Structure formats: C-alpha cells, structure tokens
Amino acid sequence: MEQLLHLRRHSVVPMVLRRMRAPLITLIVSYSVSVLGLVLIPGASADGTPYRMDFLNAFYVVSYTATTIGFGEIPHAYSGVQRLWMTLSLYLVVIAWFYAIGTIVGLVRDPAFQQAVTWNRFRHQVQGLAEPFHLVCGYGDTGAQLVQEITDGDGRAVVLERVEGHTYELGIEDLRSYVPRFSGDDSNVDNLLAAGITQAHCRSVLAVTDDDHANLQIAITAKLLNPSLPVIARSGNDETHANMASFGTDYIVSAFDTFAGGFAMAIESPRLHRVYEWMSPRPEIPLTSERLPPPGRWIVCAPGRLGKRLCQRLAPTDTEVVLVSAEKPAWMAADQPHVPGKGTEAETLKQAGIEGQDTVGVIAGTDDDADNLSIVMTARELRPELFITARLNARANRRVFEAAELDMIMEPSGIIALRIMRVLSTPRLPQFLRRLRDYDDARIGELLEHWQQLMGTETPRIRAFTVGPQEMPAVADALPRRPVTLEALLRDPRQRDETLPAEVLMLERDGELTLLPEPGVRLEIGDTVLICARADALGPLSWTVNNLDVFRYVMTGEQRPDGWLWRRLAERRVPEHRRA
C-alpha cells in the first residue's frame, strides 16, 4: 500500500530532469567548447614568454565571463585571437544560460509541475499529523460547516476538494487549527491515499461532495483500503443510498429524508421534537418562531425527492398533502391531490386550496431560492397566518430568508453537517432519541419539563462514558472493591451530599440499551453511560470519574492527601500518641 504513495507521475525530480535535459546539455557543451578553445589558443606574458592556460584557469575565466562580471584579462593580457574567442564564448554561454533559465521559469509556471509540488507538500503535511483527524471530501456548504465544527471542537481535519476556488476560501477562514487541503479529484485513489485514508490517525472519512457518484466511489475506496475506518456519506437518491448500504457504509445521510422525518415528527409528536431541539446545539430543522407545524392540510411546492419524502412521511400522520409541481410524478397514486405549476403564482396556490380553512401551512421546497421566496411572499399575501416553511439552497441567501421571518428554514447543507457532527461527537445520542420515540408524547413532555427544571432551558451537554481505564479510570479502579451505582456518578465532588444538574439518559451493557435507568443500577466494566448535564456540571462530572481521590471522597466522604509530600505533612499534623 505504501508503494502507491510514491507514484512516478507525482514525483517532482524526474519531471525537472526531463524538462531540463536539453538546457543542461546545451550548457555543458557551450562551457566545454569555450574552455577547450581557451586552453588550445596560445597566449603570451608581459615579457613575451609564450604560455597556455590550463583547464582550471580556463574554466574559471569562462565562468565569470558567463555571468558578465568581467574580472579582466588574467593571468596576462590576451592576444587578439584569445579576445575574439572570449567574445564568441561570452555570447555562447550567455545564450545557453538564458535558454536554461527560461526553461526553469516555464517549468515553475507549468500547472502540472505546480500540481505535483502541491500534491507532495499536501502528502507530507498529512503524514506529519500526529493527532487524530477527519478526512473531509468536498468543501462546499456542508464541508465548510463540518470543518468549522471539527476545528471548533479542537479536532483536526484534512480536506480534498475538486473545485480549486473552494480551497482558496478555506485558506482565509478563521479556523482554530491549520487544515491541510488539496484541490483535485476527491474520489481519486492517489489523492485519497495522500490524504491519509490508510493512516492510523485517520478517524473517519466524510464523503460530502455534491456528486452522488463521487461519494459512492469515495465510500467504496475507503471500505476496500481501510475496512475498519468509519465512512459517513451523503446520498441524494434512493439508488445511491441502496448501493452504499450494500457494501457496509457506516452512515448514509440524506437531507431530504432527515427533514421529512423531522417535519412529520413535529406534527405527530411535538414534545419529542422539542426534546430534539433542546438537546441539539443547532437543531437540524430549526424553528425560527415559537410555533410548531400544526396538523391539517399542507401545500407542498417541492418537485422531486423532497416532495416525495414529505408525502411519504406525512401520510401515516393523517396529514393531507397537496403536491404542487410541473408534472404529476409517477410515484403518486391517482387519487392523491396534485396541482400543476410551481406555486409562485397566486392562481396555482388557490387551486391547491390555500384559501380553505383546513389548510394550515405551505412548504416552498424547490431547488431555486428565488422561486421559494416568491412562493413565500405569494402565500403570505393570500393567508398571512399560515405556517410557512422554505428550503434554503445557497447559504449566501440565508440573511434574505431570515428577513422573510419564516416559521421554519430547511437548509440541506446544514442538516447534513449537523447529522454528521452528531454521529462524530455523540454517536449514542441518535440511539437514545430513536428509542425515546417509543414513549407517548405526554410522557415525553413530562420528561422534558423535568430535565429543563433540573438543567435549565439552555442547550445541555451530552457525553458518553465507558467504564474502563481510558474514560473512567477512578470508577474502574474502585469496582473490584465496592459497588458503584449510577447515582454516585452524579454526586457533586465539591459537596457529596448534593447532586449535579445532570441525568443518566441511557445505559448500554453487552449491546443492550436501557433507557433512563434507575439511579441504583450498579455499574460494570465495559458499560457505557450516556449523560446529559448542564454545561457547568460536565467539568465536575469528568473530575469525579477520572480522579481517584475525588472519587474516593464522593463514595466515602474520606479526604485523603495524595502524593508523598502531602502524606508526610499530614502525618506530621497527627499527634504523636495517635501515631504510636
């Protein structure tokens, strides 16, 4: 595998030698002829004694003559023949040098040479990384958000992007760490190898280009070259999704599927949607108002996959959907309501029933931001009280969409980036949220109220700990001697009688998940605990599970000095009769 990293076509030295072959031969020949002629032509000293210049002195004279420095006629004044030869030699070697320098300049300006130099520099930068990093393939809107999130979290990222201008933007971004980047085919095997896809420090491959085929090729390459490496890929259609799933892509993210599922959840189980929003620092489907999408009749102006996903997800919620698109799609049943058009005209929306009292909202989900805003403005004029949702395709237009005061904004790139960051940072949180759907909405509402009373309404921190020497060394050390319960983890290490504003959401043991386990459950080595905590409680919690003395105090109330010096000082404070 390592041999593949030394492909000849990426090596700079052979390219330089190949391009400089003719100029170097010209230089050698011109110097050789000039030196030989100067050696063969006889000269005379000041007193008339004949002499011949040796090769060393001849080479010295030709060398400084070629540079036009002109140290004069040494060691003696030249004869007329010598001066004529030196004049010819001067033009000969200077022209040879111009030819060589011109070739070098042309080589440096050659895009292929620049690409080879950049590729090698990129490869060396990646090989020099001593910290774990994530390989981001594609630096569009989604890739840019991922790199920002990763570096904000003190992580490292490596970027492959086929559009050269995008990597320039990366160079001027205000990131917390340097991001090695290369502009080239992000699905090319050589580029992926140079980007560290087989390196031990590579933690994941994020295939988030806007080309489904490229994402598929990246996922296949990663799985073949490094099967244990987690691969998260973006998919834009069902065929690619199925193809990726067939060879074991770890996570496949679709913005339309995620949005449609979240939208249906907000209608069917609004309290569960509130939990999603509360636990996410940046909700996948952000509500820009306090209102949730109400149940009722919806007009969906979204041709293509988004419209299909919304119709499929909303059908089980008994929500009536009127699809507005240029043509009725083949997947729609004959009795499903459809209105031809784009939705930008008032007449089309009236045909879709926007004036009916059972209509509660409009979704502007075309792939054109101007059309979506037009749909929004038209709908507002007809029914200003409706719940309005719009799809934001280009992040550059976000301020315009925010100015429109929409109830909900659907931004595909943001949805994909957040879903991937959730997988990377708290991979067990989606498991918990999926299991939470088994609860009825009233019970979820009670839990949310309890959690917010305990931890406040601000976004909590979610953290998973595995009982063992790596993540919970203090707990792992104590378990052989005494039982440790979940309740003990949440005691305040500054005052053990008090409890931290935190909650154990889930316990994983031997692959079995237990939602909201009882506080008295005893921990075992290998257990994974998912904890939700107020921001200021995460530090004390980490202190408890990592520090042996702190954990001893939390469990027993005993405060024992640690270290040789502190133990000796403590012994000196004990009276002599007690020491005896």
Residue 290 has pLDDT above 60, yes or no: yes
Q: Tell me whether residue 451 is in a domain.
A: no
Residue 288 lies in a domain: yes
pTM of the model: 0.76
Can you give the CATH number for the domain in which 41 is found?
Answer: 1.10.287.70
Q: Are residues 104 and 133 in the same domain?
A: no
For residue 181, count other CB atoms closer than 10 A to its CB: 22
pLDDT at residue 8 is higher than 50: no
The alpha-carbon radius of gyration of the chain (Å, integer) is: 36
Domain tally, the chain: 4
The CATH number of whichever domain residue 550 belongs to comes to 3.30.70.1450
List the domain range (segments joined by +) for residue 93: 1-109
The confidence score (pLDDT) of residue 233 equals 94
pLDDT tens digits, 439-496: 988 899 999 999 999 998 888 888 899 999 999 999 999 999 889 999 999 999 888 8
pLDDT at 288: 60
Residue 444 maps to a domain: no
Q: How far is CA 458 from CA 193, 453, 513, 536, 568, in A?
A: 42, 11, 27, 11, 46
In a domain, 443, yes or no: no
Better pLDDT: 409 or 564: 409
Q: Are 24 and 96 in contact (CB under 8 A)?
A: no
Helix (H) or strand (E) segment spanning residue 122:
helix 111-127
How many other C-beta atoms lie within 10 A of the C-beta of residue 335?
Answer: 5
- Helix, strand counts (H, E) of the chain: 24, 20
Please indicate, yes or no, whether residues 302 and 220 belong to a single structural domain of this protein.
no
Picking from 201, 36, 181, the residue whose alpha carbon sits closest to that of residue 118 is: 181
Tens digit of each residue's pLDDT (9 = 90 or more) over 393-430: 988 898 999 898 899 899 888 889 888 888 888 788 88
Confidence of residue 570 (pLDDT cuts 50, 70, 90): low
- Supply 366's token pair: 């075309």
H/E stretch holding 300: strand 297-301
Residues 420 and 477 in one domain: no
Sequence-separated (6 or more) residues with CB below 8 Å from residue 361: 293, 294, 296, 298, 299, 386, 387, 388, 389, 407
**271 plus 420 within the same structural domain:** yes
User: Does 124 lie in the same domain as 92?
Assistant: no
- Distance separating alpha carbons of residues 500 and 459, to the nearest angstrom: 16
In a domain, 575, yes or no: no
Beta sheet of 528-533, edge-to-edge order: 461-466, 528-533, 502-509, 512-515
Is residue 431 a part of any domain in this protein?
A: no
Domain boundary among 233, 253, 273: 253
Position 574 scores a pLDDT of 57
pLDDT band, very low/low/confident/very high, at 280 (cuts 50, 70, 90): confident
Residues 37, 13 share a domain: yes
Please report the pLDDT score of residue 281 as a whole number. 65
pLDDT in tens, 303-362: 888 899 999 888 888 889 999 998 888 888 888 899 999 889 999 999 999 999 899 999
Pick from 425, 443, 476: which residue ends a domain? Answer: 425
**Assigned domain for 401 exists:** yes
Q: Do both 190 and 159 map to the same domain? A: yes
- Single residue among 222, 253, 284 that ends a domain in this structure: 253
> What distance separates the 2 farthest-apart alpha carbons in the chain?
121
124 in the same domain as 9: no
Residues 351 and 409 in one domain: yes
Residue 55 sits in the same domain as residue 66 = yes
pLDDT on residue 129? 92
CATH code at position 128: 3.40.50.720
Examine residue 578 and state whether it is found in any structural domain, yes or no.
Answer: no
SS3 538: helix
Query: Do 410 and 518 have their domain in common?
Result: no
Same domain, 374 and 394: yes
- pLDDT on residue 324: 93
> Rounded to 5 degrees, what angle do the CA atoms 57, 62, 64 make?
95
Check pLDDT > 90 for residue 286: no
| Cα gap 531→508, rounded to integer Å | 12
**pLDDT of 2:** 47
> Helices marked H in 173-287 — which ranges?
189-194, 212-225, 238-246, 255-268, 270-279
